[in-house]
Amino acid sequence: MAEVAERIAEACVAERADFEAWLELAAELEPLFGPMARNPVFQRALLRNIARGTAFCIRERGAPPGARLLAGLLLSPRPPLYRVGWFAVTRSERRSGLGRSLLERALAEIPLEAEVLVITFGPDVPGGESARAFYQKMGFAPAEMAAPAPNGSPRQVFRRLAAGHDGRSAPR
């Protein structure tokens, strides 16, 4: 457990040197999310988030920028709304606390009065239960249905008010 605690402290803002490692993480997750690593739209979005400081990651064993990524999150700010646009943890590290640490790190950057949304698996998607339960544990509430995923599976919006820099959630 000490090893997990050590990694949890290492959630950080991604740097340009992390780009290739990020694409490797995306390629690993393509069976879940579809083609991304070689998709120019995804690559531009990733570079845009890195440049503006809204790409967060956890590197393997606290290694320097460019090392293997264990988790990554892209946050799209359009105040007062912030969207978690891409969030993934490598298969070997799921249920280790890294996802929680990374999401908490990103949420800490959002002003208290802002709303955060994420689009995840719909209620009828096999295997989507763990993602839905995770977001609910993190204070998100199921909201309206979203447009279907590229593969046609249902998706749903989850929303919450940001915790802000002081770590307290805004009242609903």
Domains and CATH numbers, the chain: 2-161 (3.40.630.30)
DSSP letter for 136, please. H
DSSP letter for 97, please. S
CA distances from 70 to 6, 106, 132, 155, 160 (A): 13, 16, 20, 25, 25
CA distances from 19 to 48, 154, 172 (A): 11, 30, 37
Supply the pTM of this predicted model.
0.87
One-letter amino acid for residue 143 of the chain: A
- Average pLDDT per block of 10 residues along the chain, 172 residues long: 50 96 94 87 96 96 90 95 94 87 94 93 91 96 93 92 56 39
